[in-house]
Amino acid sequence: MLTDLPWVSGSLARATLVHDWRRFLPAILSVAFAGVLMLVQLGLLTGMFGTVTVLVDSIPAQLWVTAPATRSVDETADIPVSLAALIRSDPDILASDVLSLRDASWRSADGQRVAVTLVALSAEAGAPVCPEPMRTQCPMLASPGSVAVDRSEADKLGAVPGASAEIDGHRVRVVALSDGMRSIGTTYVFTSRQTLDDLQAGDAQAADHTSFVLGRIAAGSDAGRVRDDLRKLLPRTTARVWTRAQLSRDSRHFWLRESGVGAGFLFSTTLGLLIAIVITSQCLRGVILGQLREYAVLRAMGIPTRRLALVVVEQAAWIGAVGTVVMWYVVIAVAALAQRCYVPFTLSRGGLLVAGGIGLATAIGSGLLALRGLYRVEPAELLR
């Protein structure tokens, strides 16, 4: 039995926890619940907003040129294709390329209509704009009228490799499925620059414009410095230059702010933690009150109240520790489930550690709140 293990016997805090675990269960579960609430929300939010920047994060080019007013990668406006040649004049830029995003209407073989975003890539595996997860798919887009979609969107689009569909009334053929290229904001359909030009053949201006110009630099170069150089090169009214990390971060923050979910997350996390504090401190208080006479004997024997307070705080810390472990297991299970269901969910080691720390602090804080009960331990009153 667990209670017979040598390490359990020495401490009143642990022995009580193991012996009366049923009494402590609500406290442990409330700490675990608060952590799960926090991490699952955080995981879904960052997972979701992470997908907003899936293009930025997976395309290897380190420098991005956007329209001057762009605040987030999904807010696109046209810039001249000629900027690609211009940035190549900087000696640090090894290669440059263009990436065009266009809204379009998809019509699957069974007549289903879906609003999509066309992503026009260079049809070469090593091109600066080919996303890392699509290295094998990029070359397949070379033949005209070929498109690829993400596996997680395939059902919605009625797309299987070899199936045909219509984009804005033009016939296209699905040649490949990608993995991990899903975005929460829109449905991406990947195609080549050539196919995109064919699809918008009527639009004379379209061929001279693009959404992004991308630059690749040598492995050791400092992207920030090259960005500053490019900023001097490009007039501020024409374009804005970003490093990849900066565009990714700003885009996610933009979404957190604009959507208001950041505030919602803070609110529900705080609420969860408050509930955990109330439940845990009430639980500990109940346990203290149930042991008042026993504590009173120790007080009579000259054990200082602060030493007894330490026992309660230790008990609280154990509740926090056990609650944290329960929370970790639940969150890891949720993450695994989310992955199986193609739900974007991010879980970081740092997040787990921070949530554990918050859980522990919550429990210890609750223990301190519960200490009031101890100061009612008056041997002369309790032991007559």
Partner 1 sequence: MKACPDVPATLSAHGLSHAYGRGATRAPVLRELALRFLPGQMTLVMGASGSGKSTLLAALGGLLRPDAGEVKFGANSLWGLAPSLLEQLRKREFAYVFQGFNLFSALTAIEQVALPLRLDGEVRAAARSRAEQALAEVGLDRHLHLRPAELSGGEKQRVAIARALVKHPSVLFADEPTSALDSLNGERVIRLLRELTRRHGTTIVAVTHDPRLKPHADCIVNLCDGVAVAERQGAAS
Which residues inside 10-29 make contact with partner 1, applying CB under 8 A? 10, 12, 15-16, 18-20
Q: Residue 383: which of partner 1, Mg ion, none does it interact with, CB under 5 to 8 A by kind?
A: partner 1
- 2: exposed, middle or buried (Cβ count in 10 Å: 0-12, 13-18, 19+): exposed
Confirm or reject binding of residue 294 to partner 1 (CB under 8 A): yes
Which of 157, 172, 296, 377 touches partner 1 (CB under 8 A)?
296
Three-state DSSP at 216 gives strand
Nearest distance from C-beta of residue 382 to Mg ion, angstroms: 12
- The two tokens of residue 84 are 């690609």
H/E stretch holding 30 reads helix 21-52
Residue 28 or 172: the one with the smaller Cβ distance to partner 1 is 28
The answer to whether residues 67 and 77 touch, using CB atoms and an 8 Å cutoff, is yes
Residue 125 or 303: the one with the smaller Cβ distance to partner 1 is 303
Q: What string marks each residue from 245 to 284 as x (binds partner 1 by CB under 8 A) or -? A: ----------------------------------------
CA distance 7 to 13: 12
Confirm or reject binding of residue 304 to partner 1 (CB under 8 A): yes
Confirm or reject binding of residue 300 to partner 1 (CB under 8 A): yes
Confirm or reject binding of residue 384 to Mg ion (CB under 5 A): yes
198 contact partners, CB below 8 Å, separation of at least 6: 144, 145, 170
Dihedrals φ, ψ of 38, to 5°? -65, -50
Question: Count of CB atoms within 10 A of residue 216's CB?
Answer: 21
Confirm or reject binding of residue 232 to Mg ion (CB under 5 A): no
Nearest distance from C-beta of residue 27 to partner 1, angstroms: 16
Q: Residue 113: which of Mg ion, partner 1, none does it interact with, CB under 5 to 8 A by kind?
A: none
In DSSP terms, 149 is beta-bridged to 177, 189
Which of 2, 204, 341, 380 touches partner 1 (CB under 8 A)?
380
Residue 6 or 235: the one with the smaller Cβ distance to partner 1 is 6
Question: Per-residue b/e over 17-46, b at no fewer than 16 CB within 10 Å?
Answer: bbeeeeebeebbbbbbbbbbbbbbbbbbbb
The answer to whether residues 53 and 73 touch, using CB atoms and an 8 Å cutoff, is yes
Q: Which residues of the chain form contacts with Mg ion (CB under 5 A)?
A: 384
Q: Which residues of the chain form contacts with partner 1 (CB under 8 A)?
A: 4, 9-10, 12, 15-16, 18-20, 291, 293-294, 296-298, 300-304, 307-308, 311, 379-380, 383-384
